[in-house]
Structure 1
Amino acid sequence: MIFIILLVMVAGKLFHVQIVRHELLKGRAEANWDREIPFGGMRGDIQDRNGNLIAGSKLAPTLYFMPSQNHDLESSAAALAAILKTDTAELTEKMSQKEYMVKLAPEGKNITEEQADEIARLQIDGLYTGVDYVRQYPNGELLSRLIGFTGYDNQGLAGIEYAYDEFLQGTGDKIRLYTDAKGVPLPHVDDGFQTGEKGASVELTIDVPMQKVVERELQQAMEKYDAAQALAIVMNPKTGEILSLASTPTFHPAEYKDVDQSIYNRNLPVWMTFEPGSTFKIITLAAGLEEDVIDLENGQFNDPGYVMVEGARLRCWKRGGHGQQTFLEVVENSCNPGFVEIGQRLGGKKLSSYIRDFGFGESTGSGIAGEAKGILFSEKAFGPVEQATTAFGQGISVTPIQQVQAVAAAINGGYLYRPYIVKEIKDDSGKVLLSSSPEMRKQVISEETSKQVREALESVVANGSGRNAFTDGLRVGGKTGTAQKVVDGRYKDGDYIVSFIGFAPADDPELLVYVAIDNPQNSVQFGGVIAAPIVGRIIEEIAPLAGIEKRKDQLEKEYRWGDMETHRAPDLTGMTKGKIGSKLHTYRIEWHGSGEKVKTQLPKPDSLIAVDDVIHVYTE
């Protein structure tokens, strides 16, 4: 009976060990036997608003070596070194380490697919190829200062890659090899595989086709004007969505080690602070209209070329002054004394209150790494002179994105929207982890005041200082800016930041474009001369991408002495060579095709063309 009882107990114990606790004990045993080959985590993609890839991942294997499984280290190292193009002695020393597994880095990290295939054919004992990834950039340098880059271990080090690294970082797969203490594979245990997860994808509000246009224009400006740097922002003023964010000079994210840190660490549209100059006058104008201290059409102001404030002589950019003007002409002419008058009518407290209501002096909350807050005068330091200079954009320091946020509120009906750059973050299964939508923070001016601001700024482009931004068929409004740079508390002679902020259509804005060029050379340093035409070209090219069609109800550009003479292109479609030759001999016409009748033409009929422009006609 004792024997039977003991036998039953042994059988029970065996059942408990083999069946009940089988998985637990097996796991403990395998933990003693296993050797893991880690696979790199596949990082999530960064895409634009339409799903276009900005930064993705591509396969780049990494080599691992188990010394105990190889009995001919020297020949193996020599064969491997020839493919990896590295020193044989150094590789042999690394492969001879007294460790169960050696990561052959940097020689064997992120090798090419061709190298991996060639190494696989060698069949080297103890050599394993681990899956790894590196970032790929289908658009090259595009958006580099916004998206940033990843480091040696594929972690985000700058830009979007850094700010959203916790979402983008993936967990890699793992191969589990089962060996004894000497590293010899166990024949009775199958190797295991542990599946990881791909990182989440970040969808930006950026529009890649728009970004290409903007970066091309900035690059051309850098070369033409030999500028130190340049920046641009394109935003939807009705929502706060940033459609383009650009800084030049740029760099390739995969080659960040080859450029100066000041380039990849500074995302200029949010990092750079400077005196805004005349673009800030939009805020003073909006406040003056909202408080009803000026009448654009009927109010009068005389500008002698300067204004005296507390013994300080504050000059207009036009030394002789603009003389008697309406306040609409004050805006068109960007007259400093006129804006000092508006600021004085508002009073220091009221002007300061509006400036802060428009979002200056604090971060916009855009979600972009490295955003600065700017500098405003304190209440105690905001005396009559400071009040006067602030009214025309001097003596304070703001960021470009703050200006864009504020001007958007001035033209969109008075609503201050938070700018944002990340639209959505989704995991690999499509589950939304984070989503952004338009966030209206407050209404700062009335819709009627905003309408007046839009009309005044459209007149600036048609008749005033912003005439170089005029675009035929698109109702463009905007304001120039020219700010002298401050170095060690003093203005630096000949060193300016010229800018222009424009929007279209002027009656119902869908696009807001800001461009600033730092220290341009080879030209007169005025925002209306350098930055305005760049903004005009950008708006004209990206308008179709935003669904904006050309119209005929815009303010006609007023001809002034020195302007290029223009006229409307005639409609030549359907006409024959003989008819065109007999009636339109004054036009320069270039024929394309061998037919008699004109099928299409460029520029299109009724487009504004210069007197010496060529009309290209295409026959049937």
Structure 2
Amino acid sequence: MQGNINVHKRLVLVFLVLTSCLAIILLRLAWLQFVRGGELQQKALNNRLNEMPVAAQRGVIYDRNRHELAVSIESDYIGAFPPEIKDSGKAQEIANTLGSILGLPAQKILEKITSNTGFEFVERQVDYTKAQQIKNLVKEKKLPGIEVVPESRRYYPNGPLAAQVLGFSGIDNQGLEGIEAMYDKELAGEPGKIVMEFDALGHEIPRATHRYIPPQNGHSLVLTIDQTIQYIAERELDKLMASPTNPKKANIIVMDPKTGEILAMASRPAFDPNNFNKYPNSVWGNPLVRDAYEPGSAFKIITAAAALEEGVVKPGDRFYDPGYIKVGPDTINCWLPGGHGSETFVDGVKNSCNPVFVQTALRLEEKKAGLFYNYIRAFGFGQPTGIDLTGEGTGLLIPEQELKPINIATIGIGQGIAVTPLQLVTAVSAVANGGKLIRPHLVKEILDDKGNVLKKIEPEVERQVISPETAKQLREMLETVVSEGTGRNAYIPGYRVGGKTGTAQKAGPGGYMEGKYVASFIGMAPVNDPRLVALVTIDEPKGYPYYGGTLAAPIFQRVVADALHYLKVPPQYDSKQGSEEKPAAPVTVPNVTGKDLAAARAELEKAGLAVRVEGDSGKVIAQVPKAGAVVPAGTKVILYLQGDPNRPRVPDVNSLRVTEAAEVLAAYGLQLVPEGTGQAGEQNPIPGTIVTPGSSVRVKFHEPAQEVLGP
């Protein structure tokens, strides 16, 4: 009896175990079938399907007049299915054939086509002839496991034109720099694919699944850039870089001040985006939005705008400039040794007088602490403009809590502050358009792949910085800079032009660097209704002169004059009217060394130049400026007369640069002992002192338009 009970228990236990196992199996089957069935089915499908990517065609980039700046052209790639190739037993033969056609090492190809993957790229962007050769061999079944698949590659039909605006894209259709990177999502589109089915051994299944999923092409962009104005700007930069001036870098930006649209943005050195990898990556970025520099006197436009708006200065207010101004224990010199004397604020703008602008900046701070900085920030400095381009910089402002009166003073004349060219041209555009700060932009429209407008980018006003009345008043002052002041070389016949020159010494480790300058000119035209604002910056020009009015203003003149004519902007007056409306053309200084005074004076005056004489007898042994220098008409040329070579008189070298002073003294048989850098001031022995030949003359030099520490 007891035995039967034990057997029964064993049977029940076995039954329960079997039932439990069956239940687990059924639950597992249900889980696999109903919960993970779709996922596992897809995995099974993927195991027998291989995909070849088909890139989308990248959208076209047009200029504002629908001229093509960047397009996609047809190309092909060679793809391989390693399982099929290995199964064919022809891997080495296939590698040798492809290597001979593509000009690649057969061993490198063999490694790719025999890898443990489902698909491999053999070569990308293969030219038409080679692709056709391989395509024919594929059709003849001589290259099993090899496919030729269409793709596209980026092409820039104008080469370097606007390269730093457009940027470039990589081999996988991805934007890497510039507009290509900024608008990559819109331009790239959605890639497609070709799906092919294989059996468990990796053989392609005849008449099996072969699906083609077409790509969705990218959207196209219409830029604000005008190809013609861009060409004009780059033409002038190329001339500059090929000239003796040969600067380290140079830039031009042209903006429509009413809309914030960038019409041209040009830089040198540049690169060809079709072969970007052959150029150093330092030239890929856009220096007009990335790099900051001290603007020098060009920033005086902002100082004047803030002061006029706040009423701390009026156009007729009088100032006195003795050649310097004290700010606490520090001294700031005027760029003109001896100063401009008594002058109105309008004269101060025209003359770019440092003491006038130092007083103006300090008046703003006296009215309200932080007021000047409020305007600086309101004009957009110290922050990105928000332009639709990669790599934008913010410039550099001294933290407000660290500001001292000397900082306010130097910022008022454009030193102690660093700005990007884009920030400056955007701020000056606010003066040109009636006081509105408008966000600059480069894309005008986004189009679908059929050319229909999907989105139109409208001008975006950030804020009203100054009143229309203040803006008009300041524009008229800036016009005097071109008609009568330091910007004469920017004059455009028939048009009212306003602007401001800038010559800033570059800052470096330990202070300002001797002989390294940024020459610039920023201006607008026509002054009464500005259509264009343009900025020219020239970084580290070689030789002398290196001033913004001499180097940058003529380039501004040629670019803006051609642009105005191209845009069919009517002139304000007949350029053949009286001379009071047309400043005289620049003059090339003739060589008068070795001539007697009468002949030298006659030749210089005939050329439209003024004369200052140093010495009382003999022939001309030195002249400043040198022969060949291009200067405004009316410029004073200093003639140094020889006198008695055995009893030389110390010449007056006041305001000369170090090299000029050294050459003049050497002409008298004297030696220069310089102290400091910049322009000559105090000298010992004093001018007129009779000395022995070979004597030393100690001269103290200082830089114009910068802080000079003193007692």
Would you say same fold, with TM above 0.5? Answer: yes
2:275 partner amino acid: E
TM-superposed deviation, 1:151: 2.4
Deviations along 1:384-434, one digit per CA (max 9) or x if unpaired, are: 211211111111111111111111111211111111112222332556555
Residue of 294, 299, 302 corresponding to 1:280: 299
Is 2:577 aligned against 1:557?
no
User: Structure 2 CA distance, aligned partners of 1:516 and 1:237?
Assistant: 19
2:132 partner amino acid: D
User: Structure 1 CA distance, aligned partners of 2:265 and 2:317?
Assistant: 39
Match of 1:381 in 2: 402
Residue of 255, 258, 265 corresponding to 1:245: 265
Match of 1:544 in 2: 565
1:318 partner amino acid: L
Residue of 126, 133, 147 corresponding to 1:111: 126
Deviations along 1:321-378, one digit per CA (max 9) or x if unpaired, are: 1122222221111111111122233335332222222121211111221111122233
The DSSP-based 3-state class of the residue aligned with 2:124 is: coil
The DSSP-based 3-state class of the residue aligned with 2:400 is: coil
Match of 1:257 in 2: 277
Is 2:73 aligned against 1:53?
no
Deviations along 1:521-564, one digit per CA (max 9) or x if unpaired, are: 12312100000000000001111333312331687134499589
Question: Cα 1:100–1:24, aligned 2, differ >3 Å: closer, same or farther?
Answer: closer
Q: Is the 8 A contact 1:463 1:557 kept in 2?
A: no
Question: Cα 1:98–1:360, aligned 2, differ >3 Å: closer, same or farther?
Answer: closer
The DSSP-based 3-state class of the residue aligned with 2:581 is: coil
Is 2:75 aligned against 1:65?
no
Question: Cα 1:99–1:308, aligned 2, differ >3 Å: closer, same or farther?
Answer: closer
Match of 1:207 in 2: 226
Match of 1:406 in 2: 427
Is 2:325 aligned against 1:304?
no
Is 2:286 aligned against 1:271?
no
Question: Cα 1:378–1:101, aligned 2, differ >3 Å: closer, same or farther?
Answer: closer
The aligned runs of 1:407-426 (5 Å cut-off) are 407-426=428-447
Match of 2:652 in 1: none
Match of 2:184 in 1: 165
Match of 1:20 in 2: none
User: Structure 2 CA distance, aligned partners of 1:24 and 1:283?
Assistant: 65
User: Structure 1 CA distance, aligned partners of 2:455 and 2:248?
Assistant: 38
User: Structure 1 CA distance, aligned partners of 2:116 and 2:468?
Assistant: 76
Is 2:217 aligned against 1:198?
yes
Q: Is the 8 A contact 1:231 1:516 kept in 2?
A: yes
The DSSP-based 3-state class of the residue aligned with 2:126 is: coil
The aligned runs of 1:287-366 (5 Å cut-off) are 287-296=306-315, 298-347=316-365, 349=369, 350-366=371-387
The DSSP-based 3-state class of the residue aligned with 1:438 is: coil
User: Structure 2 CA distance, aligned partners of 1:145 and 1:560?
Assistant: 34
TM-superposed deviation, 1:99: 4.1
Moved more, 549-558 or 445-454: 549-558
Residue of 459, 462, 481 corresponding to 1:460: 481
The aligned runs of 1:99-178 (5 Å cut-off) are 99-104=117-122, 108-122=123-137, 123=140, 124-178=143-197
1:311 partner amino acid: P
TM-superposed deviation, 1:292: 2.8
1:231 partner amino acid: N
Aligned residues: 538
User: Structure 2 CA distance, aligned partners of 1:260 and 1:502?
Assistant: 32
User: Structure 2 CA distance, aligned partners of 1:276 and 1:129?
Assistant: 56
User: Structure 1 CA distance, aligned partners of 2:416 and 2:182?
Assistant: 32
User: Structure 1 CA distance, aligned partners of 2:116 and 2:417?
Assistant: 64
User: Structure 2 CA distance, aligned partners of 1:179 and 1:370?
Assistant: 47
Q: Is the 8 A contact 1:467 1:557 kept in 2?
A: no
Q: CA RMSD in A?
A: 2.5
User: Structure 2 CA distance, aligned partners of 1:408 and 1:93?
Assistant: 60
Long gaps (5+) in structure 1: 1-22, 565-609, 611-620
User: Structure 2 CA distance, aligned partners of 1:186 and 1:381?
Assistant: 76
User: Structure 1 CA distance, aligned partners of 2:41 and 2:450?
Assistant: 32
User: Structure 2 CA distance, aligned partners of 1:387 and 1:131?
Assistant: 62
Q: Is the 8 A contact 1:226 1:522 kept in 2?
A: no
User: Structure 1 CA distance, aligned partners of 2:278 and 2:40?
Assistant: 53
TM-superposed deviation, 1:187: 3.2
The DSSP-based 3-state class of the residue aligned with 1:380 is: helix
Identity %: 42
Higher Rg: 2
Is 2:50 aligned against 1:35?
yes
User: Structure 2 CA distance, aligned partners of 1:46 and 1:166?
Assistant: 14
Is 2:541 aligned against 1:520?
yes
Match of 1:441 in 2: 462
Deviations along 1:113-158, one digit per CA (max 9) or x if unpaired, are: 1111122222333221012221100010112222222223221222
1:337 partner amino acid: P
Deviations along 1:17-64, one digit per CA (max 9) or x if unpaired, are: xxxxxx999988865543222212222222222222111211221111
User: Structure 2 CA distance, aligned partners of 1:40 and 1:561?
Assistant: 57
Q: Is the 8 A contact 2:159 2:274 kept in 1?
A: no
Match of 2:114 in 1: 96
Q: Is the 8 A contact 2:489 2:586 kept in 1?
A: no
Is 2:531 aligned against 1:510?
yes
Is 2:468 aligned against 1:450?
no
User: Structure 2 CA distance, aligned partners of 1:435 and 1:292?
Assistant: 40
Moved more, 68-77 or 38-47: 68-77
TM-superposed deviation, 1:245: 1.3
1:243 partner amino acid: L
TM-superposed deviation, 1:463: 0.8
TM-superposed deviation, 1:211: 0.8
The DSSP-based 3-state class of the residue aligned with 2:78 is: strand
Q: Is the 8 A contact 2:64 2:226 kept in 1?
A: yes
The DSSP-based 3-state class of the residue aligned with 1:131 is: strand
**TM-score of the two chains, using structure 1 as the length reference:** 0.82
Question: Cα 1:558–1:189, aligned 2, differ >3 Å: closer, same or farther?
Answer: closer
User: Structure 2 CA distance, aligned partners of 1:235 and 1:445?
Assistant: 19
TM-superposed deviation, 1:190: 5.3
Question: Cα 1:378–1:88, aligned 2, differ >3 Å: closer, same or farther?
Answer: closer
Moved more, 23-32 or 285-294: 23-32
User: Structure 2 CA distance, aligned partners of 1:286 and 1:94?
Assistant: 66
TM-superposed deviation, 1:84: 0.6
Q: Is the 8 A contact 1:411 1:453 kept in 2?
A: no
Match of 2:96 in 1: 78
Moved more, 68-77 or 273-282: 68-77
1:36 partner amino acid: E
Long gaps (5+) in structure 2: 1-37, 590-632, 634-711
TM-superposed deviation, 1:110: 1.0
